[in-house]
Amino acid sequence: MSSGSPHIPVIRSLAQLRRWRAAARERGLEVGVVPTMGALHQGHLDLVKASLARHPLTVMTLFVNPMQDLDKYPRTLESDLDLLRTLLPSGSRPLRGLGISENDSFRPPHSETTTEPPVRGLGVSEDEGFRPAASHAGNRADAPGAGVGSEFIPSSQTPLVVFNPAPDVMYPLKGELQDLTRHRGVSVDVRGYGDVMEGASRPQFFRGVATVCTKLFNAVEPDHAYFGQKDIQQALLLRIMLTDLLMAHPSPDHLHILPTTRAEDNLALSSRNAYLDPAERAVAPVLHRALSAARDLYTEGSTGEEMLAAATQVVLDEQTRILDEKVPAELKLDYFEVFDKDTFEPVRGEVKPGTPVVLAGAVWVGRTRLIDNLLLGWDID
């Protein structure tokens, strides 16, 4: 990182994150969170940009969840930080006294070219032995307001931090996480919602998502959270979870779903796209074409069955083209579904225009599984 590059602190411990969060709360600063597993692309950056535009402070969590069977998921922290820096004003300086940095041993030096005083007593440090400076409320570290100075954190400086915990931080019981039938400890299972569609194709996936997001929400205590529409079942399931668990950080109404970011050929951006070779990449937009064909029938007042048949036919036609033209790519349909956005129940029979439903699907292109969806009769965020 060059000396003029914006500084993005990386928080690795739960105690450190909670000190930072307490300081933000004391100052009345809203915090948005963008949960990710890293390997960032423009879709992730759009979510972070939205949070930065709406709130003084944003936490992007970067944690590859072992409960989701993702041992081979790419770890690209340094390049992810480089991408995040493009979202911040050039020349942004770190706030002094934060005690959080890009690596555990770094301490931001006091600048010799500025007379600005450091922001004291934010109560976050790289080591667990740190104790915040005494406040006006008293000399006890647990006194009201302890670790929280009187200075205001400018939103133009260090508005973004990354929470990048180790697995032991997120799963302190250190039990079995890959095979959840052998897992000992607490997990969150949104039954009836997490075992259909994506959940049927990827057993235990949503149990892992619900569990890790509950942990991240408890750790960050965000006022708002941001997810992408591409993973629509995941986002809607998390809203259901927030409602059923009476969670306030964030509240269900403050879980925002933002539109899918797409390439020029309408392929939904995904970290998985990097695994597509050129021939497979040329086939991949078939998923959006299939969903679009079903959407065209929706506007005409067709049945759920007819919409699914139209989407399936587009995939069948592409499979025929691949064989006829000897394209070095394999295409396989996983599923298409039209479902109610609130109950996740499949929609069959006549679907009147304006009925709020989700049209979703998944295909395999080679060894890469792609998902996408279109919202019919309603909008997000």
Out of 212, 229, 258, pick the residue that ends a domain. Answer: 258
**d(Cα 213, Cα 91) in Å, to the nearest integer?**
33
Task: Judge if 230 and 324 occupy the same domain.
Answer: no
At residue 93, the pLDDT reads 54
Dump pLDDT digits (tens) for 150-161: 333 433 457 999
Q: Which residues of 103-127 are buried (b: 16+ CB within 10 A; e: fewer)?
A: eeeeebeeeeeeeeebbbbbbbbbe
Last residue of a domain, one of 258, 288, 304: 258
222 and 76 both lie in a single domain: yes
Q: Are residues 96 and 206 in the same domain?
A: yes
Same domain, 22 and 58: yes
Vertex 314, ends 310 and 320: CA angle to 5°? 140
Distance CA(10)–CA(103), nearest Å, equals: 7
pLDDT tens-digit readout, 80-118 = 999 999 999 875 554 444 445 444 333 333 333 333 333
List residues bridging with 214 in a β-sheet. none
- Considering the domain boundaries, does residue 128 fall inside one? no
Residues 71 and 184 in one domain: yes
At residue 157, the pLDDT reads 56
In a domain, 250, yes or no: yes
- Widest CA span in the chain: 79
What is the CATH classification number for the domain harbouring 196? 3.40.50.620
- Is the same domain home to 184 and 286? no
- Domain count for the chain, please give it: 2
pLDDT in the model for residue 141: 31
Tell whether 131 is covered by a domain.
no
Task: Let me know whether 24 and 59 are in one domain.
Answer: yes
Q: Which long-range contacts (CB under 8 A, 24 or more apart) does 68-73 make?
A: 68/204, 68/205, 68/208, 68/209, 68/212, 69/178, 69/204, 69/205, 69/208, 70/37, 71/178, 73/37, 73/38, 73/39, 73/271
- Together in a domain, 221 and 160: yes
**Is 148 among the domain residues?**
no
> Rounded CA gap, 374 and 360, in Å?
6
Residue 329 is assigned to a structural domain of this protein: yes
Rounded to 5 degrees, φ, ψ at 205 are: -60, -50
The residue with tokens 């949960």 is 35
Catalytic residue check, 110: no
Catalytic residue among 44, 183, 256, 288: 44
pLDDT at 6: 82
Q: Does one domain contain both 177 and 54?
A: yes
Last residue of a domain, one of 207, 226, 258: 258
**Residue 249: inside a domain:** yes
pLDDT of 109: 33
pLDDT at residue 91 in the model: 57
Residue 38 lies in a domain: yes
Segments in the chain below pLDDT 50: 94-99, 101-156
In a domain, 140, yes or no: no
Q: Note whether 202 and 295 are same-domain residues.
A: no
Rounded CA-CA distance 26/232 in Å is 34
Same domain, 173 and 296: no
* pLDDT at position 126: 38
The pLDDT value recorded for residue 113 is 35
Give residue 213's domain range: 10-103+154-258
CATH classification at residue 352:
3.30.1300.10
Residues 244 and 346 in one domain: no
